[in-house]
């Protein structure tokens, strides 16, 4: 396997691991939310309050953040994006170096 294929493989492996963690997180969220609902409504723990809703909403917010990170942010901020940013910054630095070099040469004349 050459370097490019290895890099593609590693990126795919990383993305699959991210998605797997998200699906696990969602599964735990769902089952725990159902369990909290059962504790609150059927078993009667804290029945006068709807505490299960608060716990579920807070956790849902965290699941949504995890979803955004895995499926939105990481889908376009990938290796290609990183390379483009590095190339852009390197080009800017090279341009500044050339400007400084030209200014130095103009000062010598």
pLDDT tens per residue, range 33-64: 999 999 988 888 877 888 899 999 999 999 99
pLDDT of res. 19: 95
Are residues 85 and 60 both part of a single domain?
A: no
pLDDT of res. 8: 83
pLDDT tens per residue, range 56-106: 999 999 999 999 999 998 878 877 788 888 889 899 999 998 998 888 888
Are residues 93 and 54 both part of a single domain?
A: no
Are residues 56 and 14 both part of a single domain?
A: yes
Number of domain units in the chain: 2
Are residues 85 and 61 both part of a single domain?
A: no
- For 22, 26, 30, 109, the CA distances from 42, given in Å and listed in that order, are 29, 23, 17, 89
**52 burial class (0-12, 13-18, 19+ CB within 10 angstroms)?**
buried
Are residues 63 and 13 both part of a single domain?
A: yes
Are residues 70 and 86 both part of a single domain?
A: no
- For 15, 90, 94, 108, the CA distances from 103, given in Å and listed in that order, are 47, 20, 14, 9
Are residues 67 and 21 both part of a single domain?
A: yes
Are residues 92 and 63 both part of a single domain?
A: no
**Most confidently modeled range among 12-16, 21-25, 38-42:** 21-25
Domain enclosing residue 43, as ranges: 1-77
pLDDT of res. 66: 96
């Amino acid at each position: 396997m050459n370097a490019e294929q290895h890099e593609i493989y590693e990126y795919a492996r990383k993305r699959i691991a991210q998605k797997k963690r998200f699906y696990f997180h969602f599964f735990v969220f769902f089952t725990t939310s159902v369990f909290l609902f059962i504790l609150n409504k059927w078993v009667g723990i804290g029945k006068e309050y709807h505490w299960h809703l608060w716990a579920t909403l807070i956790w849902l917010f965290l699941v949504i953040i995890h979803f955004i990170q895995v499926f939105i942010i990481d889908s376009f901020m990938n290796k290609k994006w990183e390379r483009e940013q590095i190339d852009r910054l390197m080009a800017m630095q090279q341009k500044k170096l050339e400007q400084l070099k030209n200014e130095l040469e103009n000062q010598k004349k």
